Structure 1
Amino acid sequence: MLLHLKTTVQQDFRSVFHAFDEQLFRKLAPPYPRLKLLRFDGSAPGDVVEVELQTGIRSFRWTSRITEREITDRAAWFVDEGQEVPPPLRNWQHKHLVTQHGSGAIIHDIIEYSTGYKALDVMLYPFMLAAFGMRKPVYKKVFRQV
């Protein structure tokens, strides 16, 4: 299943892209499930980000490896791929793309996920949309004109 969210921000794309660090990661965490950050190496190929999802009943580990990173004249991105994902997910890939847009930028969250069951993927879609949709106001606040 593919989810592609776009957020227009007021800072240039290179500044936005280089701000994807541990501090921003923590700000983008949804209120539920709670995330306990176990490891954050960065956003270069080979780096690992590991969290524990705390539901209040049970905890799940989520480990992603950065597999790709590139900066061009008009865009920059990195890709994290799930190495260990919580059930019911089986596959996870998240492309963090920042493109030039006039004097500002557009942040694209491009997420591909699969549970192995099309019907379950569709049922999860509104939850994924809500969880990643919460990033928009954070992006707007963090990347307002300076």
Structure 2
Amino acid sequence: MILHLKTAVAQNYIAILEGFDRDLFKALSPLFPRLKIIRFDGSMPGDRVEIELQAGPLRQRWTSLITERQVTDQAAWFTDQGQELPPPLRFWRHQHLVTKEQGHSCIHDIIEFKTGARLLDLLVYPVLYFQFKQRAPIYRRVFGHVVKS
């Protein structure tokens, strides 16, 4: 299944890509489940991100590997690929894409995920949608609001 969320922000797309650091990662963390950052290398190919999801006494490990990073004259992105995933996820690929727009930039969260069962994918989709939709106001606070004329 693919989930694509888009947020318009004021800063330059290359500056935004550089802003994807540990502090932003922590700020973007969902309210539930809580997460503990175990390792955050960055957003370059070969970098690893390891977190522990915490829901009461339940602890689940999530490890992702940064598999690509590109900068063009119109867009910049990096992709993290799930290596160790919490159930029910069996596949995870998240492209953090920032596009250059007329007078602003757009941050795209493009997530491909699979649980192994179509019905379960459909049930997980709205949970992920709302968790990632919560990123929009944080992106705008960190990278600036787009003022419409």
Is structure 2 residue 18 aligned with structure 1 residue 23? Answer: no
Q: Deviations over 1:91-135 (max 9, x none)?
A: 000000000011210000000000000000001111000000000
- Taking the aligned partners of 1:55 and 1:102, their CA distance within structure 2 comes to 42
SS at match of 2:52: strand
Is structure 2 residue 43 aligned with structure 1 residue 43? Answer: yes
The percent identity for this pair of structures is: 54
Is structure 2 residue 132 aligned with structure 1 residue 132? Answer: yes
- Taking the aligned partners of 2:6 and 2:47, their CA distance within structure 1 comes to 25
> Structure 2: which amino acid aligns with 1:13?
Y
Is structure 2 residue 81 aligned with structure 1 residue 81? Answer: yes
- Give the aligned CA root-mean-square deviation in angstroms: 0.7
- Taking the aligned partners of 1:15 and 1:78, their CA distance within structure 2 comes to 14
- Taking the aligned partners of 2:52 and 2:24, their CA distance within structure 1 comes to 17
- Taking the aligned partners of 1:103 and 1:25, their CA distance within structure 2 comes to 26
TM-score (norm 1): 0.98
Which blocks of at least 5 consecutive residues in structure 2 are unaligned? none
> Structure 2: which amino acid aligns with 1:21?
D
Any runs of at least 4 consecutive aligned residues in structure 1 with deviations exceeding 3 A, and if so which? none
- Taking the aligned partners of 1:28 and 1:141, their CA distance within structure 2 comes to 11
Which position in structure 2 is the counterpart of 1:109? 109
Which position in structure 2 is the counterpart of 1:90? 90
Is structure 2 residue 111 aligned with structure 1 residue 118? Answer: no
Which position in structure 1 is the counterpart of 2:52? 52
Question: How many angstroms does 1:57 deviate by?
Answer: 2.8
Which position in structure 2 is the counterpart of 1:64? 64
SS at match of 1:110: strand
- Taking the aligned partners of 1:5 and 1:14, their CA distance within structure 2 comes to 19
- Taking the aligned partners of 1:144 and 1:81, their CA distance within structure 2 comes to 28
Aligned pairs, number: 145
- Taking the aligned partners of 2:70 and 2:106, their CA distance within structure 1 comes to 16
Which blocks of at least 5 consecutive residues in structure 1 are unaligned? none
TM-score (norm 2): 0.96
SS at match of 1:123: helix
SS at match of 2:64: strand
> Structure 2: which amino acid aligns with 1:115?
T
